[in-house]
Amino acid sequence: MPSLLVVIFVVELAVQLVNTIGATTINNLIWRLYLSIPTPLAKQFTDQRQKQKEYLAVRHDLNATSSQDEFAKWAKLQRQHDKLLEELKLKKSALEAARTRFDRYLTAVRLVSTRGAQWLLPMWYGKVPMFWLPYGWFPYYVEWFASFPRAPLGSVSIAVWQGACTSILTLVMNTVVGVLGLVAAGRESRRQRQKQKQPVPAGAGNGESKKEL
Amino acid sequence: MSAALVNVDDGDALEPTLQSILDQRSLRWIFVGGKGGVGKTTTSCSLAIQLARVRRSVLLISTDPAHNLSDAFSQKFGKEARLVDGFDNLSAMEIDPNGSIQDLLAGQGEGGDAADMGGMGGMMQDLAFAIPGIDEAMSFAEVLKQVKSLSYETIIFDTAPTGHTLRFLQFPSVLEKALAKVSQLSNQYGPLLNGFLGSNGTLPNGQNLSEMMEKLETLRATISEVNTQFKDERLTTFVCVCIPEFLSLYETERMIQELASYGIDTHSIVVNQLLFPRAGSDCEQCTARRRMQKKYLEQIEELYDEFNVVKMPLLVEEVRGKERLERFSEMLVRPFVPPS
């Protein structure tokens, strides 16, 4: 068992990551990973995509066929179209149900492993000191605060450690997101500047070709 | 015996007549349907005449509210089956799908207090009309009841010109679901309702809740019986009538798909009103129309290669009266040879 200090830190990190990236994005990512594993479900999805492609092709043909001039061909396509549409609808609802089940399961796991741990761990280990403060370095009220609510006086309690982790991680996350945003914005503006520059050589090129004429 | 049967089957796959229907002795119900004005009534009358020659007794029923049987045979028909003049085994009747449900509802309220009919009777009516196709289902159920006692060998229906002639075939499943819900409700809230309604659970018009449920249940049973009969290809077939024009063809295709989804057998198409102008004819409209009809006829033959496609010419006279109908009906079994 790794040290409780580390466990708390990891749980807080997970919470922060989920908050920053977004639960839906993570769900989508895991869903895609899950589908890339060769399971029966993944095969169904490939089939579905195949059918969809087929359906689109038939619809394209149907739209390209004049019902008045080539009624027989048109009617046959229409039959095929209706049949495929029916199949697609049936399959789609089944697959959507699978996705919903998967999402529900994932959400439950995520909630238990982050929010659950976040609440349960401080309750369970409320009286356990994380580490001891050096004796006599801090005044009484600081020691009292550090050991809040139930840890022995002179130690740092799990709740306080959790709070510290949260605030540091929030800071770091904000900084990282900010820096990333700045970098992205910088790249974007550079690209735009390049775009603005580009018409000039294009115009020059035109001029040259004119000269050649 | 089996070899002969196979032979017949092989033959009729492409045979351009309705002979297969005449030969299929097990057929009990024959529907004739199509878009308005394509000659459903003429076709059904002709088919009835042909069938009357090979069957013991034939009944022709029109469920079209705008009845044309009387016109076709120049004879008045009513709600009771009546022999057609000049035949001894062909009867005809005209029923009004809306009339029969009205009769039924009127009959239902009789036991109750007339003053209170407004409430529950109205509700019953609304409920009854809210279910798609129930009016037709009721009229078919009614006809079935009548016909059972009359023992006709074959019954031909001249249906109304709607795309949803047989929509009521979905009806049992709809009603089954509704009944399940209602019975669940009445089980749950029955005691409560009975508390409101008095000790014997009577509704305002003197009906009993369980009695009403029973009635609905018998209705469902009747209609599901109709269903099983109509979905049996040995007993029932559908003859599609169309004219070689786009809209009629379109409707026919839709109808055939719909019938297939209901599980009703259909293997005959009558293409009516074909123009055959004489060789030297200088009628511009006729030749132009003939060209168009030819185009659609080719399409029909390509698309419905598993059907008996019967080609009927457009005559220069109205097909009315026994003799003309008989002459016309000949062409259902002996393919019309156009004058070259």
pLDDT band per the 50, 70, 90 thresholds, residue B214:
confident
> Is B264 a residue whose pLDDT tops 90?
no
Specify whether the CB–CB gap between A85 and B310 falls below 8 A: no
- For the stretch B87-115, pLDDT in tens is 999 999 887 766 655 665 555 544 444 44
B261 contacts chain A (CB < 8 A): no
Distance from the Cα of residue B7 to its chain's centroid: 30
Look at A70 and B299 and tell me if their CB atoms are within 8 Å.
Answer: yes
A67 contacts chain B (CB < 8 A): yes
Residues B310/B315/B321/B326 CA torsion (nearest 10 deg)? -40
- Smallest CA–CA distance, residue B298 to chain A, in Å, is 9
What Cα–Cα distance (Å) separates residue B195 from each residue in A28, B120, B188, B199, B203? 55, 18, 13, 7, 12
Nearest to A117 by CA among A8, A5, A2: A8
Q: Which position has the higher pLDDT, B148 or B201?
A: B148
* Lowest mean per-residue pLDDT among A110-119, B27-36, B43-52, B155-164: B155-164
As a whole number of angstroms, the distance between CA B82 and CA A189 comes to 91
Residue B121 has a pLDDT of 53
Look at B303 and A68 and tell me if their CB atoms are within 8 Å.
Answer: no
> Is A7 a residue whose pLDDT tops 70?
yes
> Is B36 a residue whose pLDDT tops 90?
no
Residue B9 has a pLDDT of 44
- Smallest CA–CA distance, residue B303 to chain A, in Å, is 5
> Is A82 a residue whose pLDDT tops 60?
yes
- For the stretch B172-196, pLDDT in tens is 667 667 777 777 777 777 667 666 6
- Write out chain A residues lying below 8 Å of B299, CB-based: 70-72
Q: Which position has the higher pLDDT, A12 or B159?
A: A12
- For the stretch A142-167, pLDDT in tens is 999 998 888 888 899 999 999 999 99
Residues A96/A101/A107/A110 CA torsion (nearest 10 deg)? -120
Residue partners of B48: CB distance under 8 A and separation at least 6: B58, B60, B90, B92, B156
Look at B253 and A75 and tell me if their CB atoms are within 8 Å.
Answer: yes
As a whole number of angstroms, the distance between CA B287 and CA B276 comes to 9
Look at B303 and A70 and tell me if their CB atoms are within 8 Å.
Answer: no
B131 contacts chain A (CB < 8 A): no
Q: Which residues on neighbouring strands pair with residue B271, listed in sequence order? A: B242, B311
A86 contacts chain B (CB < 8 A): no
**Structure tokens that stand for A57 in this block:** 């092709």
Look at B257 and A68 and tell me if their CB atoms are within 8 Å.
Answer: no
Residues A202-206 have a mean pLDDT of: 50
* Lowest mean per-residue pLDDT among A189-193, B144-148, B205-209, B269-273: B205-209
B276 contacts chain A (CB < 8 A): no
Residue B263 has a pLDDT of 84
- Write out chain A residues lying below 8 Å of B249, CB-based: 71
Structure ipTM:
0.71
- Residue A4 burial by CB count (10 A; 0-12/13-18/19+): exposed, middle or buried? middle
Mean model confidence pLDDT for chain B: 77
pLDDT band per the 50, 70, 90 thresholds, residue B2:
very low
* DSSP code at position A134: P
> Is A189 a residue whose pLDDT tops 80?
yes
Burial readout B20-59 (b: 16 or more C-beta within 10 A, e: otherwise): bbbebeebbbbbbbbbeebbbbbbbbbbbbbbbeebebbb
Nearest to B68 by CA among B162, B160, B165: B160
Residue B115 has a pLDDT of 41
- Smallest CA–CA distance, residue B180 to chain A, in Å, is 25
* N-terminal to C-terminal alpha carbon distance within chain A: 81
Chains A, B: CB pairs < 8 Å: 22
Residue A198 has a pLDDT of 66
- Residue B295 labelled as part of a binding site: no
- Write out chain B residues lying below 8 Å of A75, CB-based: 253, 303
Position B182: which residue type?
V
Residue A86 has a pLDDT of 93
pLDDT band per the 50, 70, 90 thresholds, residue A40:
confident
Selecting from B250, B257, B299 the residue whose C-beta is nearest the C-beta of A72 gives B299
Q: Which position has the higher pLDDT, A9 or B13?
A: A9
pLDDT band per the 50, 70, 90 thresholds, residue A61:
very high
B243 contacts chain A (CB < 8 A): no
A76 contacts chain B (CB < 8 A): yes
CB atoms within 10 A of CB A45: 16
Nearest to A13 by CA among A116, A160, A162, A177: A162
What Cα–Cα distance (Å) separates residue A89 from each residue in A56, A57, A97, B102? 14, 17, 12, 40
- Probe site for chain A from B249, B292, B297 (most A CB atoms < 10 A): B249
Look at B250 and A67 and tell me if their CB atoms are within 8 Å.
Answer: yes
% of chain B beyond a pLDDT of 90: 20
- Residue B41 labelled as part of a binding site: yes
Residue B171 has a pLDDT of 65
Selecting from B246, B257, B303 the residue whose C-beta is nearest the C-beta of A72 gives B303
B306 contacts chain A (CB < 8 A): no
- Write out chain B residues lying below 8 Å of A76, CB-based: 303
Catalytic residues of B: 64
Position A39: which residue type?
T
Look at B257 and A79 and tell me if their CB atoms are within 8 Å.
Answer: yes
Residues B17-44 have a mean pLDDT of: 89
